Amino acid sequence: MRTEICDRLGIDVPIFAFTHCRDVAAAVSNAGGLGVLGAVGFTAEQLEVELQWLDDHVQGVYGVDLVIPSKYEGKGVEGLSPEELEAQLAKLVPQEHRDFAEKILNDHGVPHLPPEEHHNQLLGWTATTVAPQIEVILKHPKAKLVANALGTPPDDVIKQIQDSGRLIGALCGSVKHALNHKNAGLDFVVMQGTEGGGHCGEIASIVLWPQVIDAIGDMPALAAGGIGNGRQIAAALAMGAAGAWTGSLWLTVEEANVPPAQMQTYIDATSLDTVRSRSWTGKPCRMLKNDWTEAWERPDTPNPLGMPLQMMVALDGVKRGHRYPEQAKDVNFNPVGQVVGMMNKMERSADVVQRLIAEYLEACERLNKLNNA
Amino acid sequence: MRTEICDRLGIDVPIFAFTHCRDVAAAVSNAGGLGVLGAVGFTAEQLEVELQWLDDHVQGVYGVDLVIPSKYEGKGVEGLSPEELEAQLAKLVPQEHRDFAEKILNDHGVPHLPPEEHHNQLLGWTATTVAPQIEVILKHPKAKLVANALGTPPDDVIKQIQDSGRLIGALCGSVKHALNHKNAGLDFVVMQGTEGGGHCGEIASIVLWPQVIDAIGDMPALAAGGIGNGRQIAAALAMGAAGAWTGSLWLTVEEANVPPAQMQTYIDATSLDTVRSRSWTGKPCRMLKNDWTEAWERPDTPNPLGMPLQMMVALDGVKRGHRYPEQAKDVNFNPVGQVVGMMNKMERSADVVQRLIAEYLEACERLNKLNNA
C-alpha cells in the first residue's frame, strides 16, 4: 500500500492518525504510519512540551494539525495580541448564550472547575492565536507534516512551512475547497466526507473522493471520513487516494487519554448516534447526539453563534466534561464520525495499524479472486 | 467482477440499474447487467404493458422494484379495496397542506393538468395498492428479481415471490434493517447509504456497507448510494459487496424518459445541491434542493405529513412537473443522489455499463500495481 507520499515523508504505509494524544501519535508513527497531533487547545508552551516528548519517543517523523479557519468572527482585525482579540470577541457573545450553556451543564449536575483550573482561553481557532503554535512546530525537525483543519491556510504560513522542508496540506469537504488548496500551492489535501468526525461538509466520502481526485490531478489526496477498517482503505486506494486519514478510530485505543466513561460511550454508540451540529464550535461538526446537541437544536433555544464565538460559549462545557466525564456523560463533547458504529472494543494503537494493513490486503485479495475466477 | 448472485440470475456483471424507464432497464439487461423497473406509479394494467414490452425487448432477465413501506398511515386497515383505502386516507389530509402545495405551484406558474389527465390515484405505496402489481409480475417469467424499496415485505409476499422461483430482496439503510430482512428470509439486501437518491437513511455508504456485510454473513449484499463510476464499484466489491445497485446514473442516459429541461437540471447540479427532504413522499428522500423543498422547510409553513399522506398532497405537483418541466423547473420533484455531481453529460445506457466495467478494471489494476510495487 506504499504510495508516493510515503516516500516523501519516509513512512512505510499511508495511514495517517489524527489524535489529540501524543502517546497515540507516537505509537502510530512507530508502527509505520504517521501520527498527527491536534494542536488546538494547547498553548505554545504546552505544545513545545508535547513536541519535545514526541521527538523523544518517535523514531521517524510525525505531523501536527492546526485550526486556522478561512472564515471566522473577528477575521481581518489587525495588530491585536491574542489576548486583545479574545477580549474583543468576548464582547460579541450574548449573555443569553452563556446563561443557556451554564443552565444545561448545571441541570445535568456537572460540577464547575476548581478555580485554579479555570481559564477560558481561546487557543488556536484564529490566525492570530495559531501563530505562536507555528513558531513552535518549526523548532522540531521530526514534525514533518502540517495540516490545517478548516480551509486554506494563509500564504505566509504555507511559505513558512514549505521553506522549512515540511509538507503542508489541508482538509476539504468539496471539490471547490480542494481546488482552492491546490491553487494556493499546498502539498496535499485531506478529502473528508460528511460521515467523518469533527468539522465536516455535506458530501459523503464515496462521492467526494473520486471527484476531488479527478479535480486536483497529481496532487496527493488522502481519504478521510468513515475509515475504521482496512477494507475502507482498499476502497479509497482503489479510487485513487494516496492514503487514509483516520481520526475517530484513535479515540478507543489503549493509549488514548479519553476518560473511561467517555470511551465507553464511544464503544456503545452505533452509526446512527451521530449528528452534525454547530453547538460546540459554531461550524458543523460531527459528534455523538446527546442532551447538549439537542438543547441547541430546539426552536425555543438560542441558535449557536459563529466560530469562534460559540466555542467561547462552549469551552467551559468542554473542560468541565473532560474533568467530570461521569457527571457530564449526557452533555459531553464527543466528536466522532459515523464509523463509531464499528469501534466496538479497545485496541492497542500498534495493533490497529497491523489490523488495517491485514484487512487492506484481504480486501485486495478478494478483488483479485473475483477477477481471476 | 462476476459474483455468485450473477450466477443465480444468469447475468454477466453485478450491475443493477433501478429506473422508471423500460428502455433503460432493457438496455442495461441487454448489456450484461440487470435493469430493474420501478413499478410505483403504474396501475396493474400499465405495469402489464411495461412488462410485456420488457419481455419482448430483453434477451435475458430483468427486475421490478416495488414500494411496500413497513410503516405508513392507514396500515393495518383490513378489507378495503385500494379505492376505499385511498378515500379514507384522503380524509386525513388537512386542507392547509393541499392549499399550500397548490400555492407553491401556482406562484411558479406551473399550469394545471388538462382534465382528461387528472387522476390523483395513489398507486403502490401501501400493501393494499401494491398487491395487484405483484399479480402482474408473477405472470412474467423474465421478471426474475423483485426488490422492495421501503422495509421488509410482508411474509405472504416473500413466500409468493420465492415460490415462483424469483429472488426477492429489499433496501436497507442500517444494520438493523438488514437483519430484519435476513430474518424474514429475503434473498438479498440492497445497502443504501445516505448519499443515495430517493428514500435513504442517515448512514453513509462507506460506513454502512462493511457493517451490513459483516452482520448478514453469506447473504448477498448489493452496494447502493453514491455509485456512478466503476471505481466506486471496485470499492464496494473490495469491501465485500456482491454487486452495485445504481439509480441516479440512469436519469441522464439517452434512453431515459426524463424531459430535456429536467435532465439539464441534473447535468448542471453538483454534489452540494441535494437535500434529504420529506416534502414529496412523507419519508426522507434525497433530491435536488429547490423552491419546493425549501418552502416545506420554513418554520412558518406546514410540516410535511407522513407517508402516504404527503404523497397525496404532492402527487399533483409531481404530475404537473412531469407534464410542464420548463415551467416547473424550480419546483419539480428531482429525486437523485449526491453522485449527481459526477453526472455531467448524457450517455447511452450500454456505454455506461461498458464504462463502469472499464473503470472497475482500472481501479483493480491501480491496487495491483500498488501492492506489487
**Is B272 within 8 Å of A203 when comparing Cβ atoms?**
yes
* Residue B263 reports pLDDT greater than 90: yes
Q: If you average pLDDT over residues B22-30, what whole number do you get?
A: 98
Interface predicted TM-score (ipTM) of this complex, two decimals: 0.93
Q: What is the pLDDT of residue A150?
A: 84
Query: What is the pLDDT confidence band of residue A122, given thresholds at 50, 70 and 90?
Result: low
* Residue A365 reports pLDDT greater than 60: yes
What is the number of domains present in chain A? Answer: 1
**A253-266 b/e (C-beta count within 10 Å ≥ 16 → b):** bebbebbeebbebb
* Residue B120 reports pLDDT greater than 60: no
Q: What is the pLDDT of residue A141?
A: 96
Q: What is the pLDDT of residue A22?
A: 98
Q: If you average pLDDT over residues A274-291, what whole number do you get?
A: 96
The residues, any chain, with a CB within 8 Å of residue B107's CB and separated by 6 or more, are: none
Q: Which domain holds residue A314?
A: 4-372
Q: What is the pLDDT of residue A248?
A: 98
Give percent of chain A above pLDDT 70: 94
The half-sphere exposure of A300 on its side-chain side, counting CA atoms within 13 A, is: 0
Q: What is the pLDDT of residue B117?
A: 75
- pLDDT tens digits for range A61-88: 999 999 876 666 666 666 777 778 888 8
Instruction: Collect all residues of chain B within an 8 Å Cβ-Cβ radius of residue A200.
Output: none
Q: Report the CATH number that the domain containing residue A54 is assigned in CATH.
A: 3.20.20.70
Q: Among partner residues A225, A232, A368, which is closest to B239 by beta-carbon distance?
A: A232
Grouping H, G, I as helix, E, B as strand and the rest as coil, residue B368 is helix
For residues A35 and A116, the answer to whether their CB atoms sit within 8 Å is no
Q: If you average pLDDT over residues A245-256, what whole number do you get?
A: 98
**Of A66-75, A177-186, B136-145, B309-318, where does mean pLDDT reach its minimum?**
A66-75
How many Å lie between the alpha carbon of A216 and the closest alpha carbon of chain B? Answer: 15
Q: Is the dihedral of CA A151, A156, A157, A158 positive or negative?
A: positive
Query: What is the pLDDT confidence band of residue B123, given thresholds at 50, 70 and 90?
Result: low
Helix residue spans in chain B (DSSP H): 4-9, 22-30, 44-57, 82-90, 95-107, 127-137, 155-163, 175-183, 205-216, 230-238, 260-268, 291-295, 309-323, 349-372
Instruction: Collect all residues of chain A within an 8 Å Cβ-Cβ radius of residue B204.
Output: 193-195, 204-206, 225-226, 338
Q: What is the pLDDT of residue B77?
A: 66
Q: What is the pLDDT of residue A294?
A: 97
Q: Is the dihedral of CA B316, B317, B322, B324 positive or negative?
A: positive
Grouping H, G, I as helix, E, B as strand and the rest as coil, residue B353 is helix
Q: If you average pLDDT over residues A350-366, what whole number do you get?
A: 97
Which of B233, B224, B234 has the alpha carbon at shortest distance from B203?
B224
The burial class, CB within 10 Å (0-12 / 13-18 / 19+), for B323 is middle
**Phi and psi, residue B74, nearest 5°:** 90, -5
Q: Which long-range contacts (CB under 8 A, 24 or more apart) does B77-81 make?
A: B80/B128, B81/B128
Neighbouring-strand partners of residue A19: A37
Q: What is the pLDDT of residue A30?
A: 98
What does pLDDT average to over chain B?
Answer: 93
Between B143 and A117, residue with greater pLDDT: B143
User: Distance between CA B347 and CA B225 in Å, rounded?
Assistant: 20
**Is A341 within 8 Å of B207 when comparing Cβ atoms?**
yes
* Residue A120 reports pLDDT greater than 70: no
How many Å lie between the alpha carbon of B202 and the closest alpha carbon of chain A? Answer: 7
**Is B206 within 8 Å of A207 when comparing Cβ atoms?**
no
**Is B373 within 8 Å of A210 when comparing Cβ atoms?**
no
Q: How many residues does chain B have?
A: 373
What does pLDDT average to over chain A?
Answer: 93
Mutate to test the interface with A, among B7, B206, B233, B370 (most CBs of A within 10 A): B206
Which of A357, A369, A371, A370 has the alpha carbon at shortest distance from A12?
A357
User: Distance between CA B284 and CA B282 in Å, rounded?
Assistant: 7
For residues B308 and B149, the answer to whether their CB atoms sit within 8 Å is no
In this structure, the strands spanning A243-246 and A15-19 are parallel
**Of A21-25, B89-93, B270-274, where does mean pLDDT reach its minimum?**
B89-93
Q: If you average pLDDT over residues A296-313, what whole number do you get?
A: 92
Q: What is the pLDDT of residue A48?
A: 97
Q: What is the pLDDT of residue A118?
A: 66
Give percent of chain B above pLDDT 70: 94
Query: What is the pLDDT confidence band of residue B43, given thresholds at 50, 70 and 90?
Result: confident
- pLDDT tens digits for range A16-67: 999 999 999 999 999 999 999 999 878 889 999 999 999 999 999 999 999 8
Which of A324, A330, A168, A229 has the alpha carbon at shortest distance from A15?
A229
Q: What is the pLDDT of residue A128?
A: 67
Instruction: Collect all residues of chain A within an 8 Å Cβ-Cβ radius of residue B231.
Output: 210, 238-240
Q: What angle do CA B187, B189, B195 make, to 5 degrees?
A: 165
Q: What is the pLDDT of residue B84?
A: 81
Instruction: Determine how many CB atoms are found less than 10 A away from the CB of residue A342.
Output: 20
**Is A367 within 8 Å of B367 when comparing Cβ atoms?**
yes
* Residue A230 reports pLDDT greater than 80: yes
**Is B366 within 8 Å of A238 when comparing Cβ atoms?**
yes
How many Å lie between the alpha carbon of B234 and the closest alpha carbon of chain A? Answer: 7
Query: What is the pLDDT confidence band of residue A202, given thresholds at 50, 70 and 90?
Result: very high
Which residue in chain B is spatially nearest to A271 when comparing CA positions? B203
Query: What is the pLDDT confidence band of residue B40, given thresholds at 50, 70 and 90?
Result: confident
**Is B225 within 8 Å of A206 when comparing Cβ atoms?**
yes
**Is A271 within 8 Å of B208 when comparing Cβ atoms?**
yes
SS (H, E, C) A61-117: CEEEEECCCCCCCCCCCCCCCHHHHHHHHHCCCCHHHHHHHHHHHHHCCCCCCCHHH
Q: If you average pLDDT over residues B97-106, what whole number do you get?
A: 97
In this structure, the strands spanning A243-246 and A221-224 are parallel
Query: What is the pLDDT confidence band of residue B342, given thresholds at 50, 70 and 90?
Result: very high
Q: What angle do CA A283, A287, A291 make, to 5 degrees?
A: 100
Instruction: Determine how many CB atoms are found less than 10 A away from the CB of residue B298.
Output: 8
Nine-digit cell string for A46 = 504546552
Reported in sequence order, the residue ranges of chain A that DSSP labels E, i.e. its strands, are: 15-19, 34-38, 62-66, 143-148, 167-172, 188-192, 198-199, 221-224, 243-246, 274-277, 285-288
Query: What is the pLDDT confidence band of residue B196, given thresholds at 50, 70 and 90?
Result: very high
Q: What is the pLDDT of residue B195?
A: 98
